[in-house]
Every structure is written in structure tokens, then in C-alpha cells.
């Protein structure tokens, strides 16, 4: 075996070892996921109990389940703190939008998350609070929440949810091939409904 061939074999071995090391290193590294949080008014963001900043907040985290706690800034009236658990998917951004009210009932917003399915189509699931909201997608009535479909066009869409005596809410989403998008949408009572519900009843009055 001549010297040139020996050098070539040695180089190939080095390249193989380095490539294998980089591949294994990539497999062992935690997969990263994005999270975006917008609130009205601004709020302090806690992830797994740790204060990490204020909204609007955007960050990259390790994929997996995380507890999100949003504490709104103090104002003229006390506003309800919001807490939820979401699962962050690798290479995908989970979005949380919250408009704080004085209570959980009068707050509104949505959480948009993704779950990898591995298929060749996008899928969609919509959950409403309260239940049974009328669901329209891109102006077309699709049914009532909870709504789901296993074959949905990938791309940008507008989802509108309606419930009698609640504020109509429209959100923009982008579905992705190979992932199920889940939108959990919280609606707030309309002003007329809140006014009616604030009127004391005999059961509310204590003597």
C-alpha cells in the first residue's frame, strides 16, 4: 500500500469519526422550541415558577411541557392571574394571547400549540370556552366546538368563534404539514351579559 493511499484512508476515517460524533451530538442535544406570549395589559411571565420577563415575550426553550403563569401589571382594578400548561414542540412556536379581565370569566384569549403527527397533511382541533361555540374558518361555517379535522389545507387561516351573549373572537393561525394545530379559545361575556350578571339576586344577598 503506497503512502498516498494510506493518507487517503486516514482522512476518510477522520471524516467519518467527526461526522458520526456531530450526528450523535445533535441527537443528544435538547431540541429547541419557541414560545410567544402577548397580553393586554402587560404581564410578568413565569415559566416553571421562574420569572423570565414581561410581555410581549418571545423565547426559545427546550421542547417539552412547561407551566406558564401570567401576572398582569397592577392598575386601577385588580385583574385575574392566568396559569396554564403547554407542551412545546421542537422547531415550532407555541403562541399564548391573553386579554385580562377582573376574573377568569371576563378574560379572553387563546393558546395555539402544535403536536407532531408525522403525516403528509395538516390537521386542526379547536376547543372553545364556553363549549359549543360556532366555528367558521375563512368565512365558512364548519360546525361547533370542539371541532377537529384530520385533513386540512396547510397555510394561513382565520378562525372565528361565536357564542350567544359572548364577544365574537377571530384568530389567525398557520397550519403546518405533519402537525396538528390545537387552538383553545376563551371567550368573554359581552357587556350586556356582564351587566345582567352583575345585578344581585336573592341568592347573592346575605343578611
Per-run averaged pLDDT (10 residues), the chain, 207 residues: 64 62 46 91 95 94 93 88 91 92 94 86 93 95 93 90 96 90 94 43 32
What is the pTM for the complete model shown?
0.75
Query: What does the alpha-carbon distance between residue 20 and residue 125 come to, in Å, rounded to a whole number?
Result: 40
CB atoms within 10 A of CB 152: 18
Q: What is the pLDDT of residue 150?
A: 84
Q: How far apart are CA 7 and CA 4, in angstroms?
A: 5
Output the DSSP codes for 114-145.
EEE--SSSEEEEEEEESSS-EEEETTEEEEES
Amino acid at each position: 500500500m503506497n503512502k498516498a493511499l494510506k493518507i487517503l484512508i486516514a482522512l476518510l476515517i477522520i471524516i467519518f469519526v467527526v461526522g458520526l460524533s456531530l450526528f450523535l451530538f445533535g441527537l443528544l442535544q435538547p431540541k429547541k422550541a419557541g414560545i410567544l406570549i402577548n397580553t393586554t395589559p402587560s404581564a410578568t411571565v413565569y415559566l416553571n415558577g421562574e420569572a423570565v420577563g414581561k410581555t410581549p415575550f418571545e423565547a426559545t426553550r427546550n421542547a417539552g411541557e412547561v407551566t406558564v403563569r401570567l401576572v398582569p401589571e397592577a392598575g386601577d382594578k385588580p385583574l385575574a392571574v392566568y396559569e396554564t400548561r403547554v407542551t412545546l414542540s421542537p422547531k415550532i412556536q407555541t403562541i399564548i394571547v391573553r386579554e385580562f379581565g377582573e376574573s377568569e370569566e371576563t378574560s379572553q384569549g387563546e393558546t395555539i400549540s402544535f403536536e407532531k403527527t408525522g403525516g403528509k397533511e395538516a390537521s386542526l382541533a379547536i376547543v372553545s370556552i364556553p363549549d359549543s361555540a360556532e366555528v367558521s374558518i375563512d368565512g365558512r361555517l364548519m360546525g361547533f366546538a370542539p371541532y377537529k379535522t384530520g385533513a386540512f389545507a396547510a397555510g394561513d387561516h382565520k378562525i372565528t368563534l361565536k357564542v350567544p351573549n359572548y364577544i365574537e373572537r377571530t384568530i389567525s393561525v398557520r397550519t403546518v404539514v405533519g402537525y396538528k394545530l390545537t387552538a383553545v379559545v376563551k371567550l368573554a361575556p359581552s357587556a350586556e351579559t356582564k351587566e345582567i350578571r352583575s345585578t344581585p339576586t336573592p341568592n347573592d344577598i346575605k343578611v
